């Protein structure tokens, strides 16, 4: 008999119970969606994997081609370039050692100007002139090569030694950079030396008009000059400042030229402008004002120089102050006092 009894729903649609979830089946479904397989092994490769390996394999082939290129063109080319520089260096040495050297270089300069409108000066380094003549259309290359060959010449190398020398030094670029750094360092050193020498002249010029003259017993002077060393132009005082403007002189020190140069360089860096030409002009004015024509740091070739010898101190206008005297004296704002 048919059951006609309808369940009471109270106006709501009856809810059917959900079937239990098979987690394993869900995982297999996702695996197939991602292109996997339940029977796949770690060592298996899909068609995509094979294609990726083929692409990566092409990169390896390109790497091999690059290695072949480097070996064929870069390594061998560099070797040939160094050999070429050796030949150019040999050619340059022949010119430099020739009795017709000056005539050859002059003719090179004339040809460069006539044929390539390249002007070089008589004071242009001879190696640069030779390289410009060989490579008139490539100024930068000629400049780089001339730097390298000049270094080789300074190192007294032969043409046969040059290729291996360039290789050991790290190549043309490294040698050129090293030489430029050395030249820059040399330029800075020469500037500092010129600055210290200018300070020396200024101090000596001021010494002519100095109003503080001190006579010191030998026991107060310490000699630091070793045998065989040349004494400097100045003696240096060791002073103590107990406070205020007072300075108490303890000892004087005699030093050699090298030590003096170091001290003057230190003072020059702190007190003089880098405009050496302007400072020299001021020194010329000071010398003229003081009537200095020789001595007091003036040398032949200096403006206003007259070979008349070193003038003597005029003690009538420059009062003396004795360090060992039992009194103090103030001269031109400087007081020197001997302790009791």
What pLDDT, on a 0 to 100 scale, did the predictor assign at position 225?
93
* Consecutive H or E run containing 332: none
In a domain? residue 266 = yes
Q: Do 64 and 145 fall into the same domain? A: yes
Q: Do 139 and 194 fall into the same domain? A: no
Task: In whole angstroms, give the CA distance from residue 260 to residue 232.
Answer: 6
Q: Do 164 and 274 fall into the same domain? A: no
Task: In whole angstroms, give the CA distance from residue 8 to residue 131.
Answer: 112
Beta bridge partners of 330: 335
What pLDDT, on a 0 to 100 scale, did the predictor assign at position 212?
82
In a domain? residue 165 = yes
What pLDDT, on a 0 to 100 scale, did the predictor assign at position 51?
78
226, 230, 232, 288: which is closest to 262 by C-alpha? Answer: 232
Q: Do 225 and 319 fall into the same domain? A: yes
Q: Do 114 and 73 fall into the same domain? A: yes
What pLDDT, on a 0 to 100 scale, did the predictor assign at position 18?
54
Beta bridge partners of 240: 248
In a domain? residue 274 = yes
Concatenated DSSP letters of 187-210: HHHHHHHHHHHHHHHHHHHHHHT-
Q: Do 199 and 333 fall into the same domain? A: yes
Task: In whole angstroms, give the CA distance from residue 93 to residue 95.
Answer: 5
What pLDDT, on a 0 to 100 scale, did the predictor assign at position 31?
53
Structure tokens at 163: 């290729």
Coil, helix or strand at residue 262: helix
> Among the three residues 169, 199, 230, which one is the final residue of a domain in this structure?
169
What pLDDT, on a 0 to 100 scale, did the predictor assign at position 72?
79
- pLDDT 10s digit of each residue in the chain, 340 long? 455 555 555 555 555 555 555 555 555 555 555 555 556 666 666 667 777 778 788 888 888 888 887 777 777 888 899 999 999 999 999 999 999 999 999 999 999 999 999 988 888 899 999 999 999 999 999 999 999 999 999 989 999 999 999 998 888 888 888 777 777 777 888 888 899 999 999 999 999 888 888 888 999 999 999 998 999 989 999 999 999 989 898 999 999 999 999 999 999 999 888 898 999 999 999 999 998 988 888 888 888 888 865 444 443 333 333 333 344 444 334 444 444 4
Q: Do 222 and 268 fall into the same domain? A: yes
In a domain? residue 28 = no
Q: Which domain holds residue 206?
A: 187-337
In a domain? residue 209 = yes
pTM above the 0.85 mark?
A: no
286's torsion region: left (phi>0), alpha (psi -120 to 50) or beta?
Answer: alpha
> Among the three residues 141, 169, 197, which one is the final residue of a domain in this structure?
169
Q: Do 191 and 312 fall into the same domain? A: yes
What pLDDT, on a 0 to 100 scale, did the predictor assign at position 42?
64
Distance of CA 248 to the CA centre of its chain: 43
200, 150, 144, 198: which is closest to 174 by C-alpha? Answer: 144
Judge whether 247 and 239 are in contact, CB under 8 Å: yes
What pLDDT, on a 0 to 100 scale, did the predictor assign at position 314?
44
Q: Do 268 and 200 fall into the same domain? A: yes
Cα dihedral 323/324/328/330 (nearest 10): -20
In a domain? residue 19 = no
Q: Do 196 and 132 fall into the same domain? A: no
| Cβ neighbours for 296, distance < 8 A, ≥ 6 positions apart | 204, 205, 207, 208, 287, 290, 310, 311
Structure tokens at 203: 């101090």
Judge whether 236 and 255 are in contact, CB under 8 Å: yes
> How many domains does the structure of the chain reveal?
2
In a domain? residue 63 = yes
In a domain? residue 297 = yes
Q: Do 309 and 213 fall into the same domain? A: yes
Task: In whole angstroms, give the CA distance from residue 8 to residue 12.
Answer: 9
> Among the three residues 106, 134, 169, which one is the final residue of a domain in this structure?
169
Q: Do 147 and 212 fall into the same domain? A: no
């Amino acid at each position: 008999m048919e059951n006609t009894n309808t369940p009471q729903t109270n106006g709501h649609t009856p809810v059917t119970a959900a079937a239990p979830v098979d987690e394993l089946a869900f995982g297999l479904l996702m695996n197939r969606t991602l292109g996997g397989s339940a029977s796949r092994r770690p060592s298996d490769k899909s068609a995509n994997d094979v294609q990726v390996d083929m692409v990566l394999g092409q990169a390896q082939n390109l790497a091999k081609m690059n290695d072949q290129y480097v070996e064929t063109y870069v390594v061998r080319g560099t070797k040939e370039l160094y050999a070429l520089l050796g030949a150019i260096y040999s050619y340059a040495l022949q010119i430099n050692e020739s009795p017709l050297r000056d005539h050859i270089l002059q003719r090179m300069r004339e040809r460069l100007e006539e044929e390539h409108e390249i002007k070089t000066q008589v004071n242009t380094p001879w190696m640069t002139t030779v390289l410009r003549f060989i490579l008139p259309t490539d100024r930068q290359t000629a400049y780089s090569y001339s730097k390298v060959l000049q270094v080789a010449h300074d190192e007294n190398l032969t043409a046969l030694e040059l290729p291996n020398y360039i290789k050991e030094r790290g190549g043309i670029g490294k040698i050129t950079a090293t030489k430029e750094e050395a030249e820059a360092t040399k330029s800075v050193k020469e500037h500092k030396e010129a600055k210290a020498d200018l300070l020396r002249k200024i101090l000596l010029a001021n010494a002519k008009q100095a109003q503080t003259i001190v006579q010191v017993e030998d026991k107060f002077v310490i000699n630091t000059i070793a045998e065989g060393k040349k004494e400097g132009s100045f003696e240096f005082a060791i002073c103590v400042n107990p406070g205020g403007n007072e300075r108490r002189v303890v000892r004087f020190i005699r030093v050699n030229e090298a030590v003096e140069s170091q001290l003057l360089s230190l003072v020059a860096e702190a007190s003089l402008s880098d405009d050496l030409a302007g400072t020299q002009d001021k020194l010329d004015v000071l010398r003229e004002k003081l009537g200095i024509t020789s001595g007091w740091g003036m040398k032949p070739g200096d403006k206003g120089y007259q070979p008349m010898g070193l003038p003597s101190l005029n003690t009538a206008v420059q009062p003396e102050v004795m360090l060992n005297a039992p009194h103090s004296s103030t001269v031109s704002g400087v007081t020197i006092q001997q302790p009791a």
